């Protein structure tokens, strides 16, 4: 089941005015939209579980941050929230228990000066195997230093842009190496993030994730996971991490909105132990989120 909402924009001011649910099978995007021709836009993907859109406010905040980094008009959170919730309602009414809702803002049709926006909801694939048995990852050099966000902000490291061709190519490289997913490493040797996920390690009895000022996305799922972990008595921290930290970590996970928590069961072909019990508790806690 697919559901689409288009965002309406005022032609004079470019401000978002509301949304309309439209036929999900009809064409809606112009071939000259800068999303299609340049990947020039931003997006978020939130998960829908049992009728609730998870971490919606954190996704809206990150959407606004990405818009600022790309000099796009500030997305009106009320308009986008209403569109996402309308899609969630339609999916839930259609019997969808686990779904995803992607919302996209582009620079619009070339020359028009008005953005394009939409939200798209669909059913999630079954991630049970990834969540329980885990994923095999490879470490791949991203080719940027860890201080890239500071030295070269035009590279948009840390913005959630539509230009994911590189991230997709990295996953294909992982498949060529017999793995399922990727952990990017900076050219100066720091662990970064997956192409669509955040790294979390259990290190010396605390949960650790890479610092977010090193050109990576601040993960909404990792944020909620750390809130839960702190309630459970875990210490948490944001640090500069290296492959040696991954080697000595008691457990490692890639976490993201739709797949949730996937334990890492091999790195560059070397098997790792999966903490099945803690992973199950993490996924249950994320499922139980009420917002
Ligand atoms: C590059 C990147 N890092 C991290 C994440 C995880 O973020 P979230 O937990 O908000 O889904 C994503 C999500 O797709 C991503 O694309």
- Nearest-atom number in ligand 1 for the CA of 59 is 10
Residue 198, token pair as written in the block? 């955040």
* CATH number, domain 129-287: 3.20.10.10
Are the C-beta atoms of residues 174 and 182 closer than 8 Å to each other? Answer: yes
Consecutive 10-residue runs of the chain (291 residues): their mean pLDDT? 97 93 97 97 98 98 98 97 98 97 98 96 97 98 98 97 97 98 98 98 95 98 98 97 98 98 98 97 94 85
118 to 13, 15, 123, 131: CA distances (angstroms):
18, 14, 17, 30
Residue 158 CA to ligand 1 center (angstroms) comes to 10
**Can you tell me which residue has the tokens 């036929």?**
23
**Can you tell me which residue has the tokens 């992973």?**
279
Interstrand relation of 41-49 and 52-53 (parallel, antiparallel or unpaired): antiparallel
At 108 the pLDDT is 97
Q: Which long-range contacts (CB under 8 A, 24 or more apart) does 15-19 make?
A: 15/73, 15/76, 16/75, 16/76, 16/79, 16/80, 16/115, 16/117, 17/79, 18/79, 18/82, 19/79, 19/82, 19/83, 19/86, 19/119
Alpha carbon nearest to ligand 1 atom 16, residue: 196
Give the H or E element holding residue 216. Answer: none
- Name the β-bridge partners of 184: 140
At 183 the pLDDT is 98
Rg of the chain in Å (alpha carbons) = 19
At 133 the pLDDT is 97
Indicate left, alpha or beta for 114 from its phi (over 0: left) and psi (-120 to 50: alpha): beta
User: Which residues have C-beta within 8 Å of that of residue 226, sequence separation ≥ 6?
Assistant: 207, 209, 236
Domain ranges of the chain: 2-124, 129-287
At 100 the pLDDT is 98
The Cα diameter of the chain in Å comes to 58
Compute φ and ψ for 177, nearest 5 degrees: -95, 10
Q: Ligand 1 pocket by C-beta < 6 Å: which residues?
A: 45, 193, 195-198, 217, 219-222, 255-257
Mutate to test the pocket of ligand 1, among 196, 214, 289 (most ligand atoms within 8 A of CB): 196
Query: Under CATH, which architecture does the 2-124 domain have?
Result: 2-Layer Sandwich (3.30)
Between CA 165 and CA 163 the distance in angstroms is: 6
Picking from 141, 148, 161, 154, the residue whose alpha carbon sits closest to that of residue 43 is 161
Measure CA of the first residue to CA of the last residue in the chain; give whole Å.
23
At 290 the pLDDT is 84
Residue 217 CA to ligand 1 center (angstroms) comes to 6
Beta-strand ranges (E) seen in 10-159 are 16-22, 41-49, 52-53, 98-106, 116-123, 135-141
Residue 120 CA to ligand 1 center (angstroms) comes to 17
76 to 10, 56, 98, 103, 105: CA distances (angstroms):
13, 14, 26, 13, 11
Q: Do domains 2-124 and 129-287 have the same CATH topology?
A: no
- Nearest-atom number in ligand 1 for the CA of 58 is 10
At 205 the pLDDT is 86
SS3 for 148? Answer: helix
């Amino acid at each position: 089941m697919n559901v689409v909402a288009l965002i309406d924009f005022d032609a004079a001011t470019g401000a978002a005015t509301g949304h309309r649910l439209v036929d999900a099978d009809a064409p809606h995007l112009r071939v000259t939209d800068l999303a299609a021709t340049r990947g020039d836009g931003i997006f978020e993907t939130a998960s829908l579980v049992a009728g609730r859109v998870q971490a919606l406010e954190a996704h809206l905040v990150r959407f606004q941050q990405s818009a600022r980094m790309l000099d796009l008009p500030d997305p009106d959170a009320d308009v986008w929230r209403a569109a996402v919730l309308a899609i969630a309602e339609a999916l839930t009414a259609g019997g969808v228990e686990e779904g995803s809702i992607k919302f996209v803002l582009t620079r619009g049709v070339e020359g028009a000066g008005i953005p394009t926006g939409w939200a798209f909801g669909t059913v999630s694939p079954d991630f049970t195997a990834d969540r329980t048995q885990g994923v095999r990852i490879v470490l791949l050099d991203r080719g940027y230093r860890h201080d890239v966000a500071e030295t070269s902000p035009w590279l948009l490291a840390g913005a959630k842009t539509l230009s994911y061709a590189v991230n997709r190519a990295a996953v294909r490289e992982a498949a060529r190496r017999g793995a399922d997913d990727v952990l990017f490493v900076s050219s100066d040797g720091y662990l970064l993030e997956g192409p669509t996920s955040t790294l979390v390690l259990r290190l010396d009895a605390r949960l650790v994730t890479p610092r977010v000022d090193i050109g990576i996305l601040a993960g909404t799922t990792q944020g909620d996971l750390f809130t839960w972990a702190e309630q459970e008595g875990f210490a948490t921290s944001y640090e500069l991490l290296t492959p040696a930290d991954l080697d000595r970590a008691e457990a490692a996970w890639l976490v993201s909105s739709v797949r949730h928590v996937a334990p890492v069961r091999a790195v560059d072909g070397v098997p790792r132990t999966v903490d099945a019990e803690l992973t199950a508790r993490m996924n249950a806690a994320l499922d139980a989120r009420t917002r």
